[in-house]
Amino acid sequence: MSNEVNTDLLKERSTATFDAERLTEFIYKGPEKVKRKRQIQNIVLQDKFLQSFKPTEFYDRDGQYNNAVRRQIYIMDRLEELGFRSETDRLNFREAAAPVELSPFGLHSGMFVPTLERQGTPEQSRKWVPLGKSFKMIGTYAQTELGHGTFIRGLETTATFDPETQEFILDSPTLSSIKYWPGNVAKTVNHCLVMAQLYTQGKCHGTHLFLVQVRSMEDHTIMPGLEIGDIGPKLGFDGVDNGFMKFNKYRIPRMNMLMRYAKVLENGDYIKPKNAKLTYGAMVMVRVWIVMDAFKALSRATVIAVRYSAVRRQSELRPGGEEAQVIDYQTQQYKLFPLLATSYAFLLAAEGMSQIYAKISSDIERGNLEDMPQLHALACGLKAFCTWVGCEGIEVCRMSCGGHGYSHASGIPKIYANIVGACTYEGENTVMMLQTARYLSKSYFRGQRGESLPELIQYLTIDLNVKSTLGEDCSFESLVAAYSHRAARMVATACKLQNANKQKGMPSHDAWNKSTVPFIAATKAHCHLLYAVYGIVENMGEFMQDGYFNQDQISILNRKVLALLEDIRPNAVALVDAFDYPDHLLQSCLGRYDGQVYEALYENSKSSPLNNTDIHSSYYNYIRPMMQKRSKSKDISAKL
Ligand SMILES: CCCCCCCC(=O)SCCNC(=O)CCNC(=O)[C@H](O)C(C)(C)COP(=O)(O)OP(=O)(O)OC[C@H]1O[C@@H](n2cnc3c(N)ncnc32)[C@H](O)[C@@H]1OP(=O)(O)O
Ligand SMILES: Cc1cc2nc3c(=O)[nH]c(=O)nc-3n(C[C@H](O)[C@H](O)[C@H](O)COP(=O)(O)OP(=O)(O)OC[C@H]3O[C@@H](n4cnc5c(N)ncnc54)[C@H](O)[C@@H]3O)c2cc1C
């Protein structure tokens, strides 16, 4: 590979009107943090073992899982050797060492250990968390079943208390109750946190979490009374062993129920929690993290597509002139530049969401549940919005790279396959949006009654008769006012429909269900209250419905969005460079920093396993016999 930088990329970087390094420092919170991040990324780049893997798509499923395990255990050992203590250092190392290969221990660190910490009693946490952190106990979060994922209250796995033996008896009473999907259950973990319906003294008290040993700590064999297996290949997550698990009257000690919020006493008495939804805390935490995941996925795809668009020359923009950089086509800019803006918006939304989560979850830990509904609504809405919009955007990035975008060598299919699952896991997006919609509906009616509302939703009470003051300058204030107006009006419209349904005599659940489509649109508008002009132009109908904008203002906005494309054009490459993703993290022949795309594609293709032999065995086994047979045939058409 040559080490020159593509001349078009060189020109793009030299004509940028700002220093990308300053923006990188803003993104990563200062020059020292940037320097440290790069140091750690370079340690990975120099690491022979970590650089010894071929791209994941060159391995079969067994190989991908085996590599994922090897890689992650190597990473754990290296982190110990390097003595990285700060979470940022460890995260930077992990992300560089496994940029697209998901970890078979992801749920152990991401849900199992944090849930033991947050949902166990102090004694339980003291006993189990060190075992989890030292990987003596390797666990996952097993909630979803064949028949239920969304409707947790409908889960069928039972945990029945036996006061004689001071044990819970776990059982999968029906086919649909078999645990199905939990990550790392099939081959990796030896423990699970199992969500099950708790029965004691003949009464069901709803779903609770239980710590269950599923494999022997001696030889990893499956514990008697359990059936465990892999669910099979999926759209992505190939290195992750999502599994199924069936309980057959499987006994665990009473003290294996996580009892921080709810308890079962020795005599079988049930002590209920302050709020039944405290058990759902792990899911809220992961939804908050998924907002950052959506930013990382969309920004990486945007880096690849924008750099490639600067390098790719195709067709004549000026008749007889040289072939144009595709980034100079207005249509290509209209595809990609809004995604660049969206990536930055998601970064800010993710950071804001994490700060709100940190504050409210610490209040909840201290017993103050006042803001729990707001946290739930925000986490549901942003998780759904950012993954939906992010995945749509990643697909636009892929298609904007033409044929090469469809190749794994572009890096984009892996980004998409890994993040698109997030539209489903940790709460199916529509269902999550409806949770937020429920919160908006209740808040709207509280606002109508003159009650005070939390700051984030006070816009619901604005005067909807006001028209826009937007002028040629498209001021920030006028844009925020437009988004607030649109969302407030759409929430009011959905709530009025819900009310009208009730007035017609519908029971409240029907009145709700028959207004959920406008509520989803209103909730998306609520979440969209993040970034500007493009969003208005793309959703103009919703902004115009009550004449909020006049014709002149609509023309201003249409002109503005095209003018913004021209404003961004000279800085597009610098704006993606600022995300500072090194090549080995992007894993993309199209998004390389040096722009040497064709050489990289050619080298990558030559390493494809199918090229290990010049003539494939199928020629000898099938093609040659077919040709020989047809060459003897009298029937000329068979020869064709
Ligand atoms: C690297 C990637 C790894 C991938 C990891 C993936 C891991 C997983 O997928 S684990 C499994 C994830 N599963 C889910 O997220 C299931 C989603 N379903 C749910 O959360 C619930 O069933 C839900 C919320 C949809 C409905 O629950 P349900 O009990 O019917 O509640 P519902 O009747 O709608 O509401 C009851 C009240 O509880 C509130 N509530 C519900 N959930 C929560 C919560 N988590 N926190 C606070 N309040 C809540 C509602 O807002 C409502 O409040 P109000 O009455 O004031 O309006
Ligand atoms: C990659 C991946 C990893 C996963 N990892 C785990 C894991 O580690 N542990 C675990 O426990 N689970 C895991 N899951 C399961 C995941 O959490 C569930 O699939 C998810 O919660 C969705 O539930 P469901 O499959 O029942 O979908 P369903 O709810 O059956 O969705 C089907 C359709 O029904 C609609 N629907 C459902 N309820 C309503 C409603 N009330 N109103 C309107 N529409 C509705 C949905 O919008 C959707 O369109 C994973 C899933 C995936 C894809």
Closest approach atom of ligand 1 to CA 435: 51
Q: Tell me the CA–centroid distance for residue 233 and ligand 1, in Å.
A: 27
pLDDT of residue 185: 98
Instruction: Measure the N-to-C terminal CA separation of the chain; round to a whole number of Å.
Output: 43
Q: Tell me the CA–centroid distance for residue 284 and ligand 2, in Å.
A: 15
User: pLDDT, tens digit, for every residue of 126-135?
Assistant: 999 999 999 9
Closest CA to 335 of 415, 238, 401: 401
Closest CA to 440 of 487, 379, 482, 371: 487
Nearest ligand atom owner, CA of 243: 2
Q: Sign of the C-alpha dihedral, residues 448, 452, 457, 462?
A: positive
Nearest ligand atom owner, CA of 235: 2
Mean pLDDT of the chain: 94
Closest approach atom of ligand 2 to CA 426: 17
What is the pTM for the complete model shown?
Answer: 0.95
Going by alpha carbons, the residue nearest to atom 34 of ligand 1 is 435
Higher pLDDT, 382 or 640: 382
**Placement of tokens 């803006």 in the chain:** 341
User: pLDDT, tens digit, for every residue of 11-36?
Assistant: 999 999 999 999 999 999 999 999 99
pLDDT of residue 533: 63
Torsional class of 492: left (φ above 0), alpha (ψ -120 to 50), beta (otherwise)? alpha
pLDDT of residue 146: 98
Q: Tell me the CA–centroid distance for residue 75 and ligand 1, in Å.
A: 34
Closest approach atom of ligand 2 to CA 185: 8
Write out residues with Cβ below 6 Å of ligand 2: 107, 140-144, 148-150, 181-183, 237, 242, 421, 424-425, 427-428, 430-431, 434
Write out residues with Cβ below 6 Å of ligand 1: 102, 106-107, 141, 143-144, 149-153, 183, 277, 280, 283-284, 372-373, 376, 425-427, 431, 435, 438
Q: Tell me the CA–centroid distance for residue 268 and ligand 1, in Å.
A: 27
**Which residues define the annotated binding site for FAD?**
144, 183
Pocket test for ligand 2, best of 113, 187, 425 (most atoms within 8 A of CB): 425
CA separation for the pair 98, 70 (Å, rounded): 11
Q: Tell me the CA–centroid distance for residue 528 and ligand 1, in Å.
A: 22
What ipTM was estimated for this complex?
0.98
- Percent of the chain beyond pLDDT 90? 88
Closest approach atom of ligand 1 to CA 143: 11
pLDDT of residue 530: 38
- With beta carbons less than 8 A apart as the criterion, state whether 460 and 377 touch: no
Residues known to be catalytic: 426
Classify 548 as helix, strand or coil: coil
Higher pLDDT, 194 or 607: 194
DSSP 558-599: HHHHHHHHHHHGGGHHHHHHTT---HHHH--SSS-TT--HHH
pLDDT of residue 529: 79
**Which residues define the annotated binding site?**
144, 183
